[in-house]
Amino acid sequence: MVVTALLAAGIGVGLTAPAQAIIGGRDATTAYSFMASVQTRDGEHFCGGSLIDKSWVLTAAHCVVRDQPTDLQVRIGSLSSTEGGTLSTIEQIIVHPEYQTEPNKHDIAVLRLTTPVGGQPVQLATERPGIDDPARLIGWGCTSPAAWCSAPPVLQEIDTTVHKAEDCNTGGGRVDPALEVCTGNPENKSGAHKGDSGGPALVRSGDSWRLIGAFSWIPNFTFGSYDGYGVYTDVAVHRGWVREVTGLPV
């Protein structure tokens, strides 16, 4: 069964509650200045995102396609989704015009912040990652595939690798290798899961990170089990669209 990351939630209030998840990760020891918690206006975290400019956050389309800017806020640059960092409201939501809920293609959106923030943005990757390239995933939320779980108080991180598209074709969906990136740790069944929606997949570039993907969907979702694979919207492929709608020189 193909389930988008948003629908695979189950933190605290039940199966329909949006959430974040990194299974098999570790507590992040340093804050990522660009990491964003996308939240309701009462502070409930439900998706991840990445600060790509002092006024723009990139996330998954399925996180925000049904929302109005006044519904949302973001907390940026903290190890906690509930305190610290910088809190900003949203002025505008722009969803990719070709986003399709099924089969979830072009699952990308950008949020214009009401007020620019001071955190250091992450740069977008200019090239697609190669097979077996190392990548890092970060996010908050459930640390097991159980239907009911609690979000960890500290941002989670895990190192993984980029896989062939067909490796993520373990369920009913099919990865589009022209638009998406398959990641996974099948050996120890760890990685992004259960609504780690919009959160970043990163590659190292010298002393900094580059954004290669925004978490989109889980290939083979079943409560209580997880094969370690996750599908990310390819950010490098969508750079032209981001540049067009934001005016940023990405």
Sequence-ordered list of residues with C-beta below 8 angstroms from that of 37, at least 6 positions apart, any chain: 20, 45, 47, 48, 49, 74, 75, 76, 78, 81, 140
First to last CA, the chain: 35
Catalytic one of 107, 167, 227, 234: 107
Question: Which of the residues 45, 62, 96, 163 is marked catalytic?
Answer: 62
Structure tokens that stand for 45 in this block: 């975290």
Among candidate residues 97, 92, 93, 138, the one with its CA nearest the CA of residue 238 = 97
C-alpha angle with apex 110: 107 to 115, nearest 5 degrees? 160
Report angle CA 28, 81, 121 to the nearest 5 degrees: 70
Beta strand residue intervals within the chain, DSSP E: 3-4, 22-23, 26-27, 35-40, 45-53, 56-59, 72-76, 86-95, 109-113, 123-124, 134-139, 156-163, 180-184, 191-192, 200-205, 208-218, 229-234
Determine the Cα–Cα distance for residues 54 and 45; give it in Å rounded to an integer: 21
Question: In 3D, which of 104, 91, 98 has the Cα closest to residue 62?
Answer: 104
Identified catalytic residue from 33, 50, 197, 216: 197
96 is catalytic: no
- Is 197 an annotated catalytic residue? yes
Residue 238 a catalytic site member: no
Cis peptide before 103 (omega within 30 of 0): yes
Q: Which residues are catalytic?
A: 62, 107, 197
